[in-house]
Amino acid sequence: MAALKPHSNINRSQAVRFIASEVSEPGELARLTRNRVNKRIGYDVSNGRLQEVAPGVFKFGRLIAWARNAYVGKFLNWPALHEGSGAIQMPCVTVEANAEIQPPADLERCQALVRELTRSLNGARREIEALRVEVGGLRRFKADVMRKREQGRQAAERSRHRAKSGEFGRGVPLLNSP
């Protein structure tokens, strides 16, 4: 996919595979990811959020621009083509306006600044790792909840089936009946 340019055409199955490869969750089956992405593409095509060049064919750059909105924080390293302008937004490093740092004039202050920024970066990395661990725990919790939900649904279905077939309430003798 790296050979694709913003003005290149890409068919729907290629688009689904490409996007699914970028947004797949750890432990999620590839087929489920592709199905989820395919449904989202279909929904946004039908709503006009994603435009096709021809049925089932997209401009790669416009697909990337759509994917950046649909999957926030992803696809930042791919060139996007935005509607109407024909302009290509190339991947770049952005710095917030208030994050400007004036380097000190002497070597000692520069080294101190580097040490301070390194400590700050390491702290941010530790925080990111702690958040990843927390997200992993939440994913496991979600999987447990979904499993228990499915077990409850199946139990209710069995109960409804038994009630329809007459297993409950009719012809079942009570223990203390004469």
68/108 same-domain check: no
Angle at alpha carbon of residue 130, lines to 129 and 133, rounded to 5° = 85
* Both tokens assigned to 141: 């919790």
In the chain, the percentage of residues whose pLDDT exceeds 70 is 78
- Is residue 85's pLDDT more than 60? no
74/122 same-domain check: no
Residue 63 lies in a domain: yes
Region 96-113 average pLDDT: 68
Residue 25 lies in a domain: yes
Phi, then psi, of 91 in degrees rounded to 5: -65, 140
17/56 same-domain check: yes
Residue 22 lies in a domain: yes
85/108 same-domain check: no
121/70 same-domain check: no
What is the chain's alpha carbon radius of gyration, rounded to the nearest angstrom? 27
69/115 same-domain check: no
- What's the confidence (pLDDT) of residue 128? 84
* Both tokens assigned to 39: 């449904």
Which of residues 56, 89, 122 is at a domain's end?
89
Residue 82 lies in a domain: yes
Q: Which of 2-11, 79-88, 112-121, 147-156 has the highest mean pLDDT?
A: 147-156
Residue 73 lies in a domain: yes
Residue 175 lies in a domain: no
108/160 same-domain check: yes
**Cα 63 from Cα 7, distance rounded (Å):** 10
Domain count, the chain: 2
Q: What domain range is 161 assigned to?
A: 103-165
At 116-147, the pLDDT tens digits run 888 888 888 888 888 888 888 888 888 889 99
Q: Give 177 or 66, the one with higher predicted confidence.
A: 66
Residue 61 lies in a domain: yes
**pTM of the predicted protein model:** 0.46
- Is residue 81's pLDDT more than 70? no
Of the pLDDT bands very low, low, confident and very high (cuts 50, 70, 90), residue 86 is very low
- Is residue 94's pLDDT more than 60? no
DSSP 101-162: -PPPSSHHHHHHHHHHHHHHHHHHHHHHHHHHHHHHHHHHHHHHHHHHHHHHHHHHHHHHHH
**Cα 37 from Cα 31, distance rounded (Å):** 10
**Cα 133 from Cα 141, distance rounded (Å):** 12
- Is residue 98's pLDDT more than 70? no
Residue 178 lies in a domain: no
131/60 same-domain check: no
